[in-house]
Amino acid sequence: MTAARRKTDAADPAPIRVGPSVFDWGQRTYVMGILNVTPDSFSGDGLLEDDPVERTVATARRMVAEGADLLDIGGESTRPGHVPVDAAEEIGRVIPVIAAVAAALPDTPISVDTAKPDVAAAALAAGAHLLNDVWGTSPEVGEMAAVAAGAGVPLIVMHNRAEARYERNVVAEVVADLSAALDRAIAAGVPEANVIVDPGIGFGKTADHNVTVLCHLGALSTLGRPVLLGTSRKSTLGRILDLPVEERLEATLATTALGIAAGVDIVRVHDVGPNVRVARVSDAIVRGHWREHADGSAR
């Protein structure tokens, strides 16, 4: 099935169950909180040192209190120049944390951010409900979809390339790569309804590529799948503003609002509270997601 044969109408994808929650696409934007159990996160938020289980559970509780709809836990940095870790070390980092967060917050869906099938399987056994594969569009990687299919859980396929090379139009190639990845996931047994796509801002792309993709996020609608956007504190935002990672909140919030206007369904962020507030206002304007007091006055 090619991108041209996917849904091109305005219908929203069918709801997806992620662990204890059902995500009803098109009603509002969902906010995913990032929990990095690493010593070398690009954003400086790594939680590996000083009792990572206790620190991560505390951070997870705060994110949920601020409005996070789900949490994404990862044990290997994906920043440029990061030091790779093997599956055993990654499992040692994330599995105790996932188990503790699942026990502390049983009503909150948990995603595991990994490119390793063995880590994914161990994470699901420990209490995760969703797989987030940063190499989801690599033709050489097929086992992750098989893990998702075997466990009956949803899968996020993120766009990525080993080199930031595009022969023609970066947007068209991102959509084509994601379409092919969706085909592979379906062939591996993952129901199409269980796949979420991510354009992979900051992965296998130059700053110019990233901005171009952000300008054309609406093109992803041809895939007919929910779209996750991860721009939080990314280097492209730093390039635009010439600011370090700790001063990129406003830039992240701008991309959250513009992404929602373009139709994204999930935003993956470090700063949950401010992004939740931006998402609520953006949803009120873009999606008509608006609540009123009992007396009829608008909140």
Three-point CA angle 73, 129, 76, nearest 5°: 25
Active site residue 7: no
**For this structure, is 234 an active site residue?**
yes
Residue 206, Cβ density class (10 Å: 0-12 exposed, 13-18 middle, ≥19 buried): middle
- Which residue, among 162, 213, 36, 179, has the nearest Cα to 111 in the 3D structure? 36
Of 234, 239, 287, 299, which one is the catalytic site residue? Answer: 234
Q: What is the spatial distance between Cα 147 and Cα 18, in angstroms, rounded to a whole number?
A: 15
User: At residue 297, what are phi and psi to the nearest 5 degrees?
Assistant: -80, 145
In three-state form (DSSP H/G/I as H, E/B as E, the rest C), the secondary structure along 12-77 is CCCCEEECCEEECCCCCCEEEEEEECCCCCCCCCCCCCCCHHHHHHHHHHHHHHCCCCEEEEECCC
Using CA atoms, how far apart are residues 97 and 201, in angstroms rounded to an integer?
26
Cβ atoms 36, 77 nearer than 8 A:
yes
Catalytic residue (one of 161, 205, 248, 268): 268
Three-class SS state of 173: helix
CB contact set of 1 (below 8 Å; sequence gap of 6+): 179, 182, 183, 186
- CB 122 within 8 Å of CB 151: no
Alpha helices in the chain (DSSP H): 52-65, 87-104, 117-126, 143-151, 170-187, 207-215, 235-241, 249-261, 272-286
* Residues assigned a catalytic role: 234, 268
